[in-house]
Every structure is written in C-alpha cells, then in structure tokens.
Chains A and B, each alone.
Chain A
Amino acid sequence: MENKDNKPIKKMMLILSKATLDNVYACFILANGARMEGIESEIFFTFFGLEAVHKKKLENLHIATVGNPAMHMPTMLGGLPGMEAFATKMMKNEMEKLDIPPVGEFLEILSASGSKLWACKLAMEMFHYEKSDLIDEIEDVITVGDFYEKAKGDGTHLMFI
C-alpha cells in the first residue's frame, strides 16, 4: 500500500474558533497527536476558541445540549437549567477514564510537547481581552497574516475547527 509519492505531513496548523468542549478536545487531541508522531503543530485561537485559553473560563467549558442532534435529546429538555452542566460532567468523567486530561492540564501538555499556541488579535479586541487574561503558554497575539506566514512550507496542513 505504500506510495512513494505520498509526501509526509510536516506541520498541522489548527484554527480553533469554538469553545464547546467537544470541539476544544478535538483540536487539542489533533495537535497533541501530531506532536506524538513527530509532526509540528500550532493552534490559532480565534473567536469563541479564545475561551479555551482564557484563565478564568477554560475550566468551565461545556458541551452543547441545545442544537446538538447527536445528544439525542429533545431540544426543550436540553434547555432545562443544569442540563448542560450535567451532560458536561458525564462527559468529563468518561474522559478521565480514558486518561484525557482536563483543559488546563492539556494546554500544559501541548506547550511542553512543543506545540505553539497563538491568540487572534482581532478576536481579542472584539472581546476586550488583554494578553494577561490568557494563559502564560500563549506565545503571542497575532494577525491572520502572521498565522499564514507561520504556515509556510512544504507539508503544512491547515484545519478549521
């Protein structure tokens, strides 16, 4: 099955624009999984994705119980008070069993693995966030142009989440 024309992936540039827990974990696992294979990885946190690196918000992310057909739950039920917190707690329990770390620890692991974390300048301004609001592991606040500059090179793949 091996095809000699297949060029290896050298770098994964992930863009996280959402802060629902399932999206955040998908992004982190992809970035970490790349590093585990010796592939470079970088994450650009933009729009709601910034919440995943906001010191006061990152441990309070939820999964969506409303507007999420995969929850197999009537929308009105999903909207009841406490339902999101309950579903989130259930999911976190399952993840701990699989040795998947909480968001804060996962960010430390990513940083230790050499994955680079960037915050979007425009989204920071929109939400009135300062760099000091974000975790120390954030390398810098950059523009989209800066991010594309970092994506340069053969074997780079971009992914929007």
Chain B
Amino acid sequence: MGKTYAGVSVNVNEEGYLTDLNQWTKEIATEMAAEEELELSDDHWKVFDYLQEQQRNEVSLSIRKVGKSGVVSIKEFYALFPKGPLKISSKLAGIPKPASCI
C-alpha cells in the first residue's frame, strides 16, 4: 500500500506502519503525529531514536524494556503517547508494530 506523507510516497501496511524504515523522515513522523493528534517534543524524538536503534539491532521491544532504557520512564512513555505508547511510538518511528503483550 502506498501513502503520501510530506509530499513523499511511502509504503505502509494495512495498519499504516511503514514497511521500510529507510523511507522514514522526520517530516513523515511529524505528519503521522498530527494524524494521532500529537505534537512532538524532544522526548518524542528521543524515543524514536531509541526504537529505531533497537529495530536495527533486531531487539524485540516491550514497555518494560523502554522503561529500563534510561530514555523515558514508563510513566513518561504513557504521558508522551497516551493512546498506546508502544504501538503509536513504533508507528511514528517507522518500525513494525511490536507483537509484545507486555
């Protein structure tokens, strides 16, 4: 599936997640954030950096791991992405939706 963000056509799956992290740009994340009614702060970008790094290292993600990362606490993570911290942050970071239940 193709979708246009910030004037660029990207490939997304049926849930709107980018299928190729290499297509990700900050402009795309900003437009996706607007769809989620989020205004991005420095802390949001720090989370995206962390998630992308984990994805590149093929580490599976969980709320617990993010909480232990030193990037944000679990409480802060929920405050940044109230509608679903792990799934929405992953979407905006351009990585696949984590299949974690934790």
Binding site for B on A (CB under 8 A): 29, 32-33, 35-38, 98-101, 105, 109, 112-114
Interface size range of chain B in the complex: 10 to 19
Q: Which of B65, B67, B83, B101 contacts A29 (CB 8 A)?
A: B101
- Chain B hits for A114, CB < 8 A: 78
- Chain B hits for A32, CB < 8 A: 63, 101-102
Q: Which of A37, A100, A101, A112 contacts B87 (CB 8 A)?
A: A37
A36 to B64, CA, bound (A): 11
In the complex where A33-B101, A100-B102 touch, is A109 in contact with B63 (Cβ < 8 A)?
A: yes
- Chain A hits for B86, CB < 8 A: 36
Q: Which of A33, A35, A101 contacts B64 (CB 8 A)?
A: A101
- Chain B hits for A29, CB < 8 A: 101-102
Please determine whether B65 and A109 come into contact, CB atoms closer than 8 angstroms: no
Please determine whether B62 and A38 come into contact, CB atoms closer than 8 angstroms: no
Q: Which B residue sits closest to A32, measured CB to CB?
A: B102
Contact mask B30-47 → A, CB, 8 Å, 1/0?
A: 000000000000000000
Q: How far is the CB of B95 from chain A (nearest CB, A)?
A: 16
Please determine whether B101 and A112 come into contact, CB atoms closer than 8 angstroms: no
> Which 4 pairs from chain A and chain B are nearest by CB?
A38-B83, A112-B74, A112-B75, A38-B84
Q: Which of A33, A36, A100, A112 contacts B67 (CB 8 A)?
A: A112
Taking the complex as formed, is B2 at the interface, i.e. its CB lies under 8 A from any CB of chain A?
Answer: no
Q: Which of B62, B65, B73, B78 contacts A35 (CB 8 A)?
A: B78
